[in-house]
Amino acid sequence: MIPRSGSGCPVKAEIVKEFTFEAAHHLPEVGPDHKCSRVHGHLFKVEVAVEGEVDPVLGWVMDFGDLAVVSRQVIGELDHRVLNVLPGLANPTSENLARYLFDRLAARVAGVSAVTVHESPTSRCTWRPVRPVAPATTEVRITVGGLLFSAAHLLVLPPAIREPIHGHDYRMTMVVTLAPGVPGDIDGVLRSCAEAVAAELDHRFVLAGRPAVGRLEERGDSFALVVGDETVTLPRMDCVVLDVGNTTTEALAAWAAARIAARPEIAALRATRVEVTLVESLDASARAEATVG
């Protein structure tokens, strides 16, 4: 039997894809003495976030490629334009621009949860619909960043398609929600747990134990991934097999969150939730959450 590292995949995740466009604008409401009243330009960066259920077979909220097609169409309408002349952008502040793009993207992509517009490397605005305010709690959230691992993988897609073998340097951030007043070196415990889970994937080939397409076979010292007429053979010692249908960024983030949440050290801290964000590339990331206990 093929060993699988369990996932406990949460119901929802959020993915983020980044885009850029170049445009000119001015802000007519700031007064003639403000520098932004003059026509000028920016290289704008736009982050589009989509939240939804992780497909139990394909392992994603949606295909990053499908999100890119629609987003580039919407955002491309602003490229090399004077924003003020576009209907709805007479006063193209970052705030108004983020809402403008959110409305147009949400009309075409289900689950758009936020749009962030970077006007410069140090200035940005996020438009996110207002959600009901949760009751005040005594919980605290602790963030552990600077976590890295390097791994290889491939995705399999219906009807019998596989990606080429490739790899990423993943950047991982963990946020843990726990009760206040827990004694001891909390930061050290959390970092140790996160590093241990990241190490399980580091410098490994990550395989889906129940692939969405094809099948995974044990063949002595090797694993064989059979997809249609193709067979990919990999040394067993190089691989880690996860209990997922695809090794998407969403699935890996969900696996890592659940894996960390299941550690006894986390339970001992009276933690309630573990959230993991994985950055797969310069323009693609995913966030997932798991409940402790």
Q: What is the pLDDT of residues 200-217, one digit of tens each?
A: 999 999 999 999 999 999
Instruction: Note whether 100 and 153 are same-domain residues.
Output: no
At residue 9, the pLDDT reads 44
271 domain residue, yes or no: yes
Query: 218-229, pLDDT tens digit by residue?
Result: 999 999 999 999
Amino acid at 238: D
SS3 content of the chain, % helix, strand, coil (to 5): 25, 40, 35
Catalytic entry in 36, 51, 125, 195: 36
My answer on whether 59 and 106 are in the same domain is: yes
Q: Would you place residue 181 in the very low, low, confident or very high pLDDT band (cuts 50, 70, 90)?
A: confident
Residue carrying structure tokens 């409305």: 103
Please indicate, yes or no, whether residues 72 and 212 belong to a single structural domain of this protein.
no
Is 166 noted as a catalytic residue in this protein? no
Q: Whole-prediction pTM value?
A: 0.79
Select from 86, 105, 127 the last residue of a domain: 127
pLDDT of residue 283: 85
Per-residue pLDDT, 186? 87
Can you give the pLDDT at residue 5? 64
Domain CATH number, residue 88 = 3.30.479.10
Residue 131 has pLDDT above 80, yes or no: no
Q: How far apart are CA 201 and CA 292, in angstroms?
A: 21
What pLDDT score does 55 carry? 87
| Per annotation, catalytic residue among 119, 250, 275, 280 | 119
Catalytic site includes residue 163: no
Provide the domain count of the chain: 2
Cβ atoms < 10 Å from Cβ of 172: 22
Host domain of residue 112: 12-127
Instruction: Report how far residue 255's alpha carbon sits from residue 123's, in angstroms, rounded to the nearest whole number.
Output: 33
pLDDT at 8 over 60: no
Q: Please identify which of the residues 22, 29, 77, 80 carries the catalytic annotation.
A: 80
Q: Is the preceding peptide bond at 132 cis, omega within 30 degrees of 0? A: no
Q: Return d(Cα 198, Cα 3) in angstroms, integer.
A: 18
Is 132 part of any domain?
no
